[in-house]
Amino acid sequence: MKEFRKKYDVLVAGGGVAGVAAALSSSRAGMKTVLVEKNIQLGGLATSGNVFGYLPLCDGQGRQVIFGIAEELLHASIKYGPGDIPGDWENPESVSRYSVCFSPAAFVLALDELVMNAKVDVWLDTVICQPTMNKDRITGLEVENKSGRGIIEAKCIIDATGDADVSFRTGVPCEERDNFPVIWAFQISLEAARAAVHENNAGKLLDLVWQGGSDIGEGLPPGLRKYLGTNGKDVSEFVLVSRKLLRDYFVREQAMMGKSGRDNLFPVALPSMADFRTTRRIHGLKTLGSSDFFKNFDDSVGLVADWRGPGGSRKNVWEVPFGTLVPQKIHGLLVAGRCISATGAAWEDMRVIPAAALTGEVAGIAAALAVSNNTTPEDIQVKDIRKEMDRRNILYSLDGLHGNV
């Protein structure tokens, strides 16, 4: 016997950037929407993982390519904390881009405000367990929280867990990838405090320290292995090994400062979510691959720019096909964020914060259309998604950029 049973139009699983964008998008489209998050703060890796850089909305040549909720969230990330959008990002000669660094805690406060204003029903501290199914259609999710274990039913479900957990458990074909240990934390240091006072800017106190590998494993002490974010034991070991790297860093740095080391430099905020870049992604009706740069798709529903480098090539923008958000085999389900169907260089760009917000917004629009038309996402018309995107002034075609080149 279940302790509770609730019904919604749209259920968004996971309250990272993608999940928040999906919930805002669906609720604003008139759907009764629930957002379920196991942590007690929204934002996922962007906040709980201390990933404090909102990567660019522009192509590095002065053209904005991502619009809509992705832009709204960028502004929200600095609403209650430090950070400025570079004034010269629109200058194609400049290396600046439409991008900011933010305080994760300030971003959490702004995300709360957005979802509350949009009347999203937010369930924090609630873990998603198993999906409920009617043959090959997902009908709801079993969840657990302080009230016990219950079922949330919905006409359409968006998997924004970052790890494709919902999709995987329904039987959607997925792919996994392992990661080198890495940790992003914040430190307090006398040096940063001096800079803050000197520049009269407390934002300088936001002092990131990262240890472990880059996405390609650079900067890693030898002998460390890769870990799977989809294996419970591996997740624990990944976190413990990463935190040991951080401990070793503070021991080294504090020792160099002598007796006052512990007073002058110390950790102040650790991630409360494992800093896995990638874990599992779905096989969608379409997969965006490395060779799809600057390619037109007949089902494109958004544009994403390459974040690496200031631009350089004018062919550094992707169209995002709707099929990358629609899983194979299972009905009633959409995917948003870092677990959509993309590989290689395409995945490198689809996994970051602005792209996660974009795919979240699209998933919210598509879910609302599926519910309104009493159908499943793969049967909705892309032209109807685009109509709503036009209404929201979001670009989805490279053709929209050509005039500016």
Ligand X SMILES: Cc1cc2nc3c(=O)[nH]c(=O)nc-3n(C[C@H](O)[C@H](O)[C@H](O)COP(=O)(O)OP(=O)(O)OC[C@H]3O[C@@H](n4cnc5c(N)ncnc54)[C@H](O)[C@@H]3O)c2cc1C
Q: Which of 127, 126, 129, 133 is nearest to 153 (CA)?
A: 133
**By the rule CB under 6 A, 127 interacts with ligand X:** yes
Q: How far apart are CA 127 and CA 113, in angstroms?
A: 22
Nearer to ligand X, 116 or 127 (CB): 127
**By the rule CB under 6 A, 182 interacts with ligand X:** yes
Q: 396 near 301, Cβ under 8 Å? A: yes
Nearer to ligand X, 122 or 353 (CB): 353
**By the rule CB under 6 A, 240 interacts with ligand X:** no
Size of interface with ligand X, in residues (CB under 6 A): 37
Q: How far apart are CA 102 and CA 206, in angstroms?
A: 9
**By the rule CB under 6 A, 46 interacts with ligand X:** yes
Q: Residue from 71, 275, 378, 388 that binds ligand X (CB under 6 A)?
A: 275
**By the rule CB under 6 A, 49 interacts with ligand X:** yes
Nearer to ligand X, 166 or 398 (CB): 166
Q: Residue from 184, 297, 322, 396 that binds ligand X (CB under 6 A)?
A: 184
Q: 189 near 207, Cβ under 8 Å? A: yes
Q: How far apart are CA 201 and CA 391, in angstroms?
A: 39
Supply angle C-alpha 357, 186, 13, rounded to 5: 30
| The one segment of 23-31, 130-138, 223-231, 270-278 that binds ligand X by CB under 6 A | 270-278
Nearer to ligand X, 111 or 368 (CB): 111
**By the rule CB under 6 A, 338 interacts with ligand X:** yes
**By the rule CB under 6 A, 39 interacts with ligand X:** yes
Length of the chain: 405
Dig out the tokens for 38 from the structure: 């196991």
Q: How far apart are CA 73 and CA 357, in angstroms?
A: 8
Q: How far apart are CA 183 and CA 205, in angstroms?
A: 19
Residue pointed to by tokens 């993982």: 49
| The one segment of 104-112, 132-140, 268-276, 387-395 that binds ligand X by CB under 6 A | 268-276
Q: How far apart are CA 122 and CA 403, in angstroms?
A: 42
CB of 6 to ligand X, least distance (A): 15
Number of helices (H) and strands (E) in the chain: give both, helices first.
11, 18
**By the rule CB under 6 A, 36 interacts with ligand X:** yes
Which residues, 15 to 34, sit near ligand X by CB under 6 A?
A: 15-19
Q: How far apart are CA 265 and CA 259, in angstroms?
A: 12
**By the rule CB under 6 A, 317 interacts with ligand X:** no
| The one segment of 289-297, 345-353, 362-370, 374-382 that binds ligand X by CB under 6 A | 345-353
CB of 368 to ligand X, least distance (A): 19
CB of 19 to ligand X, least distance (A): 6
Q: How far apart are CA 126 and CA 148, in angstroms?
A: 10
Nearer to ligand X, 31 or 273 (CB): 273
Q: How far apart are CA 274 and CA 302, in angstroms?
A: 29
Which residues, 318 to 337, sit near ligand X by CB under 6 A?
A: 337
Q: Residue from 78, 128, 363, 368 that binds ligand X (CB under 6 A)?
A: 128
Which residues, 346 to 365, sit near ligand X by CB under 6 A?
A: 351-353, 356
Other beta carbons within 10 angstroms of residue 267's beta carbon come to: 15
Nearest-10 Cα torsion for 221, 225, 227, 231:
-140
Q: By the criterion CB under 6 A, which residues form the site for ligand X?
A: 14-19, 36-39, 44-46, 49, 51, 53-55, 127-128, 160-163, 165, 182, 184, 273, 275-277, 337-338, 351-353, 356
